[in-house]
Structure 1
Amino acid sequence: MKRYRFTSAQRLHGKTDFSAVYKQGKRWYGGPLVVVAVPNDLTFNRLGLSVSRKVGNAVKRHRIKRLLRESFRLSQCEHPIGYDIIIIVRPHDLLAQVEYQTILLKSLSKLHAKWGQVNLDSVTESCPEG
């Protein structure tokens, strides 16, 4: 069984990382999520989450973040690689983890097509071994 990890290196850290993605990234609006992505020079994707207080109380916001991180982690072998990704959450009723995963996969494939990247063949390179 493969071990899917979500390490610190796979996260966007700090204001500079986030502002670079917001400034240069392309957006895709999918239901309760807005996904912003920009290509990076890495062999893996990096994820950042933005969940405002309009979404709900701290418990709901943190639950959504956990579900989104888990969706990203479990489906990382299916994502096109080499992107910095920010997921902006709009107010909505809580969805199941599988629904977030479906929205995320669809949005990343659409953004990959928008960017016209040629690294789609290397999708499985982001899969961890073991």
Structure 2
Amino acid sequence: MKQFTFPKSKRLVSQRQFKAVLAGKLRVSDGRFTLVMGENDCGYPRLGVSVGKSCGNAVVRNRLKRLAREAFRQSQGRIPADFDYLLMVSPRWLKKLSKSDAKEAVRQLTLEQVRASFLALVNRVKREA
């Protein structure tokens, strides 16, 4: 039995929702990811993921999005429920590498690393707020 799910209601899908989160002042980065948080009033956390085309081809971008969504799904019990989260992959992280090295870096990126980064960023925002 799955403890946490990730239905469409827990996703940021519209441009208006993304803009509302981006208007918030709660923003931190760790070099790989940037997390922006905005308050919501729906009683549960929601996630939006943004991976620009400069991060690689569709295979690379989709892997990054899948890892981010799964990290969020598994971390829902550890994060404040009254926030929307926008996780953006930093293109500078991959631009420093050659194309083959960037692809390899994404391939070697594990769910545990993404989840640890996500939780660390959430904790940093909570401390700074």
TM-score with structure 1 length normalisation?
0.82
Instruction: State how 1:106-121 maps to structure 2 within 5 Å.
Output: 106-115=120-129
Query: Percent identity of the aligned residues?
Result: 34
- Structure 1 segments unaligned to the other structure (5+ residues): 116-130
Q: TM-score, normalised by structure 2?
A: 0.83
Task: Judge which range, 40-49 or 106-115, deviates more.
Answer: 106-115
C-alpha deviation, 1:2, in angstroms: 4.8
RMSD (Å) for aligned C-alpha atoms:
1.3
What is the alpha-carbon distance in structure 1 between the residues aligned to residue 54 and residue 3 of structure 2?
Answer: 35
Q: What SS class does the counterpart of residue 4 from structure 2 fall into? A: coil
Asked if structure 1 preserves the Cα contact closer than 8 Å seen for 2:29 and 2:35, the reply is: yes
- 2-structure distance, mates of 1:83, 1:26: 10
Greater RCO (Cα-Cα under 8 Å, separation 6 or more): 1
Alignment of 1:60-99 (within 5 A): 60-91=60-91, 92=94, 93-94=105-106, 95-99=109-113
> Of the candidates 113, 116, 120, which is equivalent to residue 102 of structure 1?
116
Structure 1 counterpart SS, 2:23: helix
Taking the aligned partners of 1:72 and 1:5, their CA distance within structure 2 comes to 10
Q: Which runs of 4+ in 1 moved over 3 A?
A: none
Post-superposition offset of 1:43: 1.7
